[in-house]
Structure 1
Amino acid sequence: MKNELTLQLIDTHAGGDVSRIVTGGVDPLPGATVRQQMEYLRDDADGLRKLLLEEPYGAPEMSVDLIVPPSDSRAETGYIIMEVMGYPIYSGSNTICTATAVLESGLVPKREGHQHFLLESPAGLVQIDARVENGVVEAITCGGLPSYIDTYRAAIHVPGLGDITYSVAYSGGFYALVDARDLGFHLTLDEERDLARCAGAIVEAIQAERGFSHYTLGDVGPLPFLHFMGPVDQVADDFYRSRSATYVHPGVICRSTTGTGTSARLALMHHEGGIRPGDKLETVSLRESGFIGEFLGVEQAGADGHDVVRNTITGKGHVLARSEIVVNCDDPMVECAGLHHILTSRHG
């Protein structure tokens, strides 16, 4: 008999971004809140993130969402987000995927029509509105984090690129926002590698020059995201559309436009006076997938009186696979250090 480490997964995607939802195989984590459980993983058990995002089990372009018990009794479940850059406290695409997975797996009973429930992320409670048609989850609308503009049209010199104009928004992480046309991009799929190289150089230059501080969270680490903005087209009185691409440092161009990237765009459009409450923006990715962000309104927050944008993000999640993976610690490609204390073993 041997001790076998296994994980139960539901692989999903929203807008092309693959999220692996871990539904079983991990022992209860210490921490009174989902945020504290996330901090424990980050500080004492980062091997789980690396295991599922690196060979032979995964790829850096994927994300991982671990289902954990909520600390707030109003939430159906909690979830912790893991990406190549670390542990973002919120993500729209990961929330859409997690909400879809808990419905399709029966962790949250699925009902025909519209249903509403709460999930608990490291950022706090998230309102989920699900639309179910003929037993299929057709759309998830989730609350975007309150978003604001930290920096508007600053300039930085980037080696090999010259002087770059950028803005910075907070929408669950700090995003550099740059005009794709100014950099010679049309935001088509054939530009993906060049977009990653360009974004990496800009992010590294910004990181070397300055840091950013949230008005309540304080220092949340170096800026990890960049969002390329295409032209904004008005397609109806209250509906806009823009090609977009989101970069995650180091080296990843997301397959979707990302929910937090879309929230960042709404914050910038409000800052520039371009939208009213009820207006919607559809961001369209290199792969022609999209998310729809709705601008709900604005409120003042923080000692400096930031204009904070309230918003929602809508998208569709798709189930790709339901599986159980075996963590083989005898495999030279598998690093099990820091895993045994959180993975449940069973006798095989």
Structure 2
Amino acid sequence: MSERLTLQLLDTHAGGDVSRIVTGGIEPLPGATVRAQMEYLRDEADGLRKLLLNEPYGIPEMSVDLLVPPTDPRAQVGYIIMEVMGYPIYSGSNTICTATAALETGLVPKREGRQRFVMESPAGLVHIEATVRNGAVEAVTCEGLPSYIDTYKARIHVPSVGRITYSVAYSGGFYALVDATELGFDLTLDEEAQLAKTAYAIVEALQAERGFSHYTLGDVGPLPFLHFMGPVEQVADNFYRSRSTTYVHPGVICRSTTGTGTSARLALMAHEGKIKPGDKLETASLRNTGFIGEFTGTQQAGPHQIVENTITGRGYVLSRSEIVVNSGDPMAERDGLRHILTSAHTPATKAASLAANVPEIRQLDIEVEG
């Protein structure tokens, strides 16, 4: 008989972007930090990401978040983010979804009202504030990564598009920021395919022309993201709104405006002197979902004004499921995966790697068939 291997999942979404939370079925990963565990997964076990984001199990528009034991004693939960373009060290929508999953599964006991806890991402500790009403997680506020403007209003010729003006922000990844109106877009859902095509052309041109280096991280790879910006309107004191959309991969426009995209917008508005600490910006997507970014302060790092910020959104649980990895299925890619899957015949107490390695966290209920 072929061995039956399973993964336990909690599917969630924030702003329309689906995050698959892997809650069980993966062996403990080597690494003294969550960042080191992410690097092991990226270099030695990329099959998990490929399996869950490709047919027949998933689609590239989704994300995957693997729950792991935190390595920092101040954190209650660790998590590793996987997307079609690779392993981002941080993501606002994925953090909102993972925090929601931590509360809904009982990893972090849910309490009425506002509560705070800490998660460990590959980028470091993330402080979370969640609002719970009548047992439902109504909002999650997480820290955005310190963000800054690398390039302001540069020009580039893009084949098939023409000469465009762009800025570049770092907010967890490098973002090209372009004015949607200047390119003739109203940022409506019917424009989604053309937005993806245009963004791809711009990103390809930028990658061919130049690279970008973070002031402490150094080379973090070619610029991957583009954020289309609609007009900004002031809707109340200290509160602004803008239609927005984010491109992340050929053919892929995010359903949400993304947390890191919203952080990038805050960095640009602060750079231009259009907002001050305490001001908020709601970014509204093609599907009329949104995140709220708050500009909380600044610090100086060399030549860069670093914008501190938070992102608020809501995560929803879509389903709880168990995925069967069939050893004889030619559609199920298992290269770089088999060695981290827990055997179906392993006792449940070991299969739940998160619970097994963090004895003080016993609320997560994972069932594994043996």
Q: TM-score, normalised by structure 2?
A: 0.93
Structure 2 unaligned segments of length 5 or more: list them: 346-369
* Matches for 1:24-173 after TM superposition, within 5 Å: 24-173=24-173
Distance (whole Å) between structure 2 residues aligned to residue 227 and residue 187 of structure 1: 11
Structure 1 SS opposite 2:229? strand
CA distance in structure 2 between the aligned counterparts of 1:328 and 1:211, rounded to whole angstroms? 42
Query: Which runs of at least 4 in structure 1 moved beyond 2 Å after TM superposition?
Result: none
Which whole-Å CA distance do the structure 2 matches of 1:17 and 1:107 have between them?
22
Alignment-mate amino acid for residue 319 of structure 1: V
Within 2, Cα distance between the matches of 1:42 and 1:164?
A: 35
- 8 Å contact kept, 1:15–1:255: yes
1:345 equivalent in alignment to 2:351: no
Provide the C-alpha distance between the structure 2 equivalents of 1:249 and 1:62, rounded to a whole number of angstroms. Answer: 12
Residue range with higher mean Cα deviation, 140-149 or 245-254: 245-254
Structure 2 residue identity aligned to 1:163: R
**C-alpha separation between the residues in 1 aligned to 2:238 and 2:178?**
24
For the 8 Å contact 1:239–1:279, the answer to whether it is kept is: yes
What is the CA distance between 1:115 and its match in structure 2? 0.4
Partners of 1:183 and 1:219 in 2: CA distance: 30
For 1:1-348, list aligned pairs within 5 A: 2-301=2-301, 304-347=302-345
Aligned length: 346
**The residue matched to 1:341 in structure 2 has which SS?**
helix
Give the 3-state SS of the residue equivalent to 1:282 in structure 2.
Answer: strand
Shift of residue 2, structure 1, vs aligned partner: 4.1
Residues 71-116 of structure 1 deviation map (CA, whole Å, 9 limit, x = unaligned): 1011001100000110000000000000000100111110111000
Indicate if the aligned counterparts of 2:228 and 2:244 stay in contact, CA closer than 8 A. yes
Asked whether the 8 Å contact 1:84–1:250 carries over to 2, the reply is: no
| Paired AA for residue 140 in structure 1 | V
In structure 1, the partner of 2:358 is none
| In structure 1, C-alpha distance between the alignment counterparts of 2:161 and 2:337, rounded to whole Å | 42
Q: Distance in 2 between matches of 1:112 and 1:14?
A: 21
Task: Report how far residue 332 of structure 1 moved.
Answer: 1.2
Given that residues 329 and 335 in structure 1 are in contact (C-alpha distance below 8 angstroms), is that contact kept between their aligned partners in structure 2? no
Please state whether the residue corresponding to 2:262 is helix, strand or coil: helix
Residues of 2 paired with 1:30 and 1:247: CA distance?
33
Segments of 5+ residues of structure 1 without an aligned counterpart are none
Q: Secondary structure at the match of 1:114?
A: strand
Distance (Å, rounded) in 2 between the aligned partners of 1:310 and 1:80: 23
Matched residue SS, 2:203: helix
3-state SS of 2:340 partner: coil
Provide the C-alpha distance between the structure 1 equivalents of 2:91 and 2:57, rounded to a whole number of angstroms. Answer: 22
Which amino acid is the alignment partner of residue 283 of structure 2?
Answer: T
Corresponding residue SS for 1:344: coil
Note the alpha carbon deviations across 1:38-95, whole angstroms, 9 max, x for none: 1111111111100000000000000000001111011001100000110000000000
Q: Shift of the alpha carbon at 1:340?
A: 1.0
- Paired residue secondary structure (1:222): coil
The answer (yes or no) to whether the contact 2:199–2:226 under 8 Å persists in 1 is yes
Q: 2:247 aligns to what SS in structure 1?
A: strand
Residue 363 (structure 2) aligns with: none
Q: 2: distance between equivalents of 1:250 and 1:67?
A: 28
Report the CA distance between 1:305 and its aligned residue. Answer: 2.6
Distance 2:13 2:274 in 1: 31
Take 2:336 and 2:237, find their aligned partners in 1: how far apart are those partners? 54
d(CA) in 2 for partners of 1:222, 1:70: 29
- Aligned 8 A contact 1:278 1:296 in 2: yes
Q: 1:329 Cα deviation (Å)?
A: 2.3
CA positional deviation for 1:118: 0.2
Amino acid of the structure 1 residue aligned with 2:306: V
